[in-house]
Chain A
């Protein structure tokens, strides 16, 4: 049976890719952000996941506005990235667990989440940057990636967007599906993007420390309380692109055990963004008893 070892939340700002390529992790500007991953690396060395389910949003690499799914699940053995137009390094391909993808797709549709199924899906910086942060060096190594992935894409560009409640439910459905999966796999779930930021309009540069803190506090033990915010509220409080928090809610939804925050790093700014990095433990009832 698959075990969900926990969740990771991280931003995916493109300029991080450039900072990694130029080896700037210890520069004064970048250090407070990158040091937030020390705990992530320590925790992964102990929990040793085989697969990462990654909730992210495409920024106009794979999907265009001509046909735009609300939820799309990758279902292939290899995910390639490509030129996004503004010059960040293109990651080497990342292997996928197609069998797990189809298990999730079958379970999701049976559970009334009518997802788009993608046997071809280019992954953009919203997958490749978190992968490079979480498994440093893996993208440039000749060795195999330490994990396979199942990328799940959520629309955060074309309104109407799915609600926070809907994304939480999507996550819960995937959590149940993972636990019913027959292979003995260890799964980590990643939510990418956010937190508060806005790239467009006269309000560009907007961040909201207080609201981010509230989201980070509530998402751990009472994520339902955040579902009272509409998408409009979320845009207002978190910025036009702060809505990427939907990916975090889906990640949180998959954690069906007793969830606790093992680590949190919060730093402003990474480019225009308030960046948060978290690790959530997902302790199952059986493990609690044993302990």
Chain B
């Protein structure tokens, strides 16, 4: 009897102890985010301080103390910015401060990344650096004073005038404050397979949207798939083409604040265009992934693919020049009533990087930023990308890079991305209903009615 009593008590204590072991501390787990497809793998990398290297007389200021930056990047582990960033961190540790380190989480899937940042922001745990967009959620952080003013930081570091106009201003707020850092100079183009065009009897690239549709039909008649498509943001670009050409950013700016409707004439025109061109996308595009689609373009399975200059390393050879069978053409015009020209298109600096207001107060953060921007533009060129600012040595650029950088440097207006400008709640509806429209399950009028309903609910 006594034995039973003792064992009962011991069992109760064991159960109670297991209760407390389950309620562990709040240390964040090592970041392994599992996401749907191959290109959305996330990784967390800690660049440990190289304590054996001595910080020589580098000429750069440093506190010399241990300092870690936590960065959540919307990027592949092996993307440009990551490759350049790792090199710069390594250089900084060897040349300036061996006690410096960065804890980097890469989440390439946009939706997963945004969800993480928004959840962290809600629990007051924003990282020191994070990628994002100047969207409606960003403005909540900005208005709450949680984001550093990068324009002020650039001026303090003396690098404000080194950026290309588009890269500097792309991550700016509505009242012109520079809120983030651009990673690249990015222009968007139609990449096309020259062999597919030749086989379909197409001799020149389209200059109007009507010509684009005709070319699509010719490619389809020749037995090939005209356009490779994947992703949600890319679909919204097709939606934005006509309004951009006919109204600049006027229509989307008004849509975002409820002063225009999706059922207005311009909205219906945009919807009709995407319904027309959607029939030329490949079968099953809603579940395609970009790396597969790009390989299929190179292999000649698709005729065209809309993307940006960040794909240069994929479509270039070892000398940094375009592959022989790949060409590029700019966004066509409508041919009637265009308010802008070929040179005016979707240009940006990539998903900007923001710094938390708290982290920006740290001296070593500013020291690292100064070092970073002294080296980043040149590294970008070496890695085959287009830098957001003037490199110190333009001679290392390929002819193609020089040509594209000239185009980018001359940009004085850029088309705004609809998924960024529209509030996050309506953007979610836009991203879910536009595929329905493209697949023919909704008419343009039905699509517009759904979006107007969502906008009416979400815009305050």
A, B assembled together: no
Chain B interfacial positions (CB closer than 8 Å to A)? none
